Chain A
Amino acid sequence: MSTSVPDEAPIPVYDLSINVRTAWYAHSLSNAGTDGSIRLLPRRQLLADGTATDACSGNIAKHYHAVLLAEYFEGAGVALCAACRTRDGRRAAALAERNGDRRMTIDSILVNCGLCDAHGFLITARHGMAAGRGEARQRIAKHSLIEFSYALALPDRQAESVQVATRGGGSKEGGQMLMKMPARSGEYALCVRYRGVGVGADTDSWRLVVDDAGERRTRHRAILAALRDALLSPQGAMTATMLPHLIGLSGAVVVRTTAGRAPLYSPLVDGFVAHLTSLAAPSCAVYPFATVVEFQAVMDTLIETSFPCLPATGTGQMPPVHEVGGRDRRT
Chain B
Amino acid sequence: MNTPITTAAVAEPWLAASYHMPTTYSCRTPMSSMSSATALPAPGPATVRLALVRTAIELCGTAYTRDALFPAICRADIRIQPPGRVALSTQAILAYKESEWLSGDVAKRDERTSLTTAPICREYAQAGDPLTIYIAMPDAYHDIVRQLFMAVGYWGQGHSLASCVAIQRQEPVEGECARPLVAMADSSGLHGFVTSLCTEFRDATVSWHAIMPTRSTAAEHAFRIDVYVWPLIVAWRHASGTLLVRRPLPREDRHGSAGADAPST
Contacts and interface: CB of A to CB of B under 8 A. Distances in A.
A52 B152 CA distance: 29
A49 B85 contact: yes
B243 A46 contact: yes
B58 A312 contact: yes
- Range for the number of chain B residues in contact with chain A: 35 or more
Contacts of A47: 87, 126, 128
- Range for the number of chain A residues in contact with chain B: 35 or more
Contacts of B203: 330
Given A147-B159, A326-B75, A48 B57 contact: no
B140 A134 contact: no
A59 B93 contact: yes
A193 B161 contact: yes
B50 interface: no
B24 interface: yes
Interface stretch (B30-38, B141-149, B185-193, B251-259): B141-149
B133 to A, nearest CB: 15
Contacts of B143: 319
B115 A90 contact: yes
Interface in A275-331: 311-314, 317-324, 326-331
Interface in B219-249: 240-243
Interface string B112-153: 111100010000101111000000101111011001001111
Interface string A20-57: 00000000000011000000000111111110100101
B150 A50 contact: no
B23 interface: yes
Contacts, number: 191
Interface in A181-196: 189-191, 193, 195
Contacts of B152: 261
Given A48-B243, A259-B151, A124 B98 contact: yes
B158 A329 contact: no
Interface string A130-141: 001110001000
Contact of B115 (A94, A190, A261): A94
B241 A52 contact: yes
Contacts of A48: 83, 85-87, 126-129, 243
Contacts of A268: 22, 128
B145 to A, nearest CB: 9
B20 A152 contact: no
A260 B147 CA distance: 8
A317 B208 CA distance: 23
A208 interface: no
B94 A266 contact: no
18 contacts: A43-B91, A44-B240, A46-B88, A55-B91, A59-B94, A97-B113, A150-B124, A205-B62, A206-B57, A259-B58, A267-B22, A268-B128, A313-B61, A318-B64, A319-B143, A324-B139, A326-B75, A331-B8
